[in-house]
Amino acid sequence: MHRYLLPVLFLLIVLGFGSCKQIDKKTEIKLAHSLDPSHPVHKGMVAMADSLEAISGGEMTMKIYPSGQLGSEQQCLELLQIGSLAVTKVSAAVLEGFTEKFKVFGVPYLFLSKEHAFTVLDGPIGKKLLSGLEPFNMHGLCFYDAGARSFYTKDVAINSPDDLKDMKIRVMRSQTSINLVKSMGALPTPMSWGELYTSLQSGVVDGAENNPPSFYTSHHYEVCKHYTLNEHSMIPDVLVVSTVVWNKLSEQEKEWLQQAAQMSVPVQRQLWHESELESLQKVQEHGVEIIYPDKKPFAKRVEGIIESYKSNPVIYDLIQQIRQTE
C-alpha cells in the first residue's frame, strides 16, 4: 500500500467519511481532487454537481473536496480504487500504468487540432478507452480538456526545432517526453514540477514545456520570456468513478451521474479555453513574447517516434484509427 495512504484512510475513518451515502433516501457521492478552486477543471466539476442535482430533482448530489484535502492525485486514485472515494480526476498520462492503450496520448502531434481531439475523445475510440478501465476498479465517465503542451525558454526564442539544439529542457519523467525533446535536438532533463522554478532561475535548465494556464500559475513567466505555441502534445484529463461505488448505484442513478458528467464537458472545455486566453494575456503583460511558429517542422522531427510504435501493434493501430477519424 502507498506509504501516504494509511494516514488518509485513518482520517476518513475518524471523520466517518463515506464515498457514497444515503441521507433521507437521497444519495450523496464524494468527489476529491488536488486542484485549486479557481482551476477550470474544478469549475467543470462544479457544473457537473449542479447538473446532477438538477436532473435528479435533488435525489442525487455531489460533494467536492478540492485543493488536495483528501490527498494528491495519486492518493485520490488509490482511495477511489478501494471504494473510499467515489469520483476523482486523473491525467490520462497516469492511466498508462493501468492500461497500455492510454500511452497513445503521449504520442506527439497525435491530434490535428483541438476539434479533432474532441471528436476522438467523445466518439467510439474515447468510449472504448474509458471502458478499458473497468478491470482496475475505475469506470470512466468522460474526458476533460487539459490543453496542449508547448515550449518556453529563458534566453533564446524558439521559432523552429533548430533553435532548441543543445538546450536543456525540463521534461516529465516519461520516456515519450524524453524522446520528444531529444528528437528536437535538445537535452531532456527530467525533474519534478516543484524543482523547476529554481532550476530555471539558476540555469540548471534553459526551458520547459507545458500548457498556458500552467505556465502562468507557476510564475515561470517571471524567468522565461519566450513562449512558443508549437503544441506538441494534448494529454486530456479523465473523470473516473470507483466501480465499488458505481456497482452500488441504481440504474437510474448511474444514468443521472453519466448524464451530469457529459453535460459538464462542454462547460469545462469553454472554461479551459477562456483560461488559456487569460493566461496568454497575463504573461504578455509581464513581458513574455508569444510565438506562433509553423508547426510542420516540429511535427516532422517526431515522425521517428511514431514509427517506433510499429513494434507495438496495439498502440500503432490506435494511432492510425485516431488519425483517420474525421
Task: Kindly report, residue by residue over 280-326, the tens digit of the pLDDT.
Answer: 999 999 999 999 999 999 999 999 998 999 999 999 999 999 999 99
Phi, psi values for residue 209, rounded to 5°: -150, 135
Give residue 13's pLDDT.
42
Q: How far apart are CA 26 and CA 260, in angstroms?
A: 17
Phi, psi values for residue 191, rounded to 5°: -165, 160
Residue 31 sits in the same domain as residue 86: yes
In a domain, 176, yes or no: yes
Give residue 14's pLDDT.
36
Q: Which residues of the chain have pLDDT under 70?
A: 1-18, 20-24
**The dihedral sign for the CA sequence 161, 162, 163, 169:** positive
Q: Tell me how many domains the chain contains.
A: 2
Residue 168 sits in the same domain as residue 227: yes
Give the Å distances, CA to CA, from 325 to 100, 110, 111, 244, 286: 21, 11, 10, 34, 40
Per residue, the 3-state secondary structure of 245-280, as one string, reads HHCCCCHHHHHHHHHHHHHHHHHHHHHHHHHHHHHH
Segments forming the whole domain that contains residue 25: 5-97+133-143+237-277
Strand ranges in 179-268 using DSSP code E only, listed in sequence order? 187-190, 207-210, 226-233, 237-242
Residue 165 sits in the same domain as residue 30: no
pTM score, two decimals? 0.87
Give residue 73's pLDDT.
87
Residue 9 sits in the same domain as residue 90: yes
Each residue's pLDDT tens digit, 213-235: 989 989 999 999 999 999 999 99
Q: How far apart are CA 152 and CA 158, in angstroms?
A: 8
The secondary structure of residue 234, as a DSSP letter, is -
Give residue 20's pLDDT.
67
- Secondary structure of residue 241 in the 3-state scheme: strand
Give residue 137's pLDDT.
97
The secondary structure of residue 93, as a DSSP letter, is T
Residue 198 sits in the same domain as residue 256: no
Domain containing residue 17: CATH number: 3.40.190.170
Give residue 217's pLDDT.
87
Mean pLDDT estimate for the chain: 92
In a domain, 178, yes or no: yes
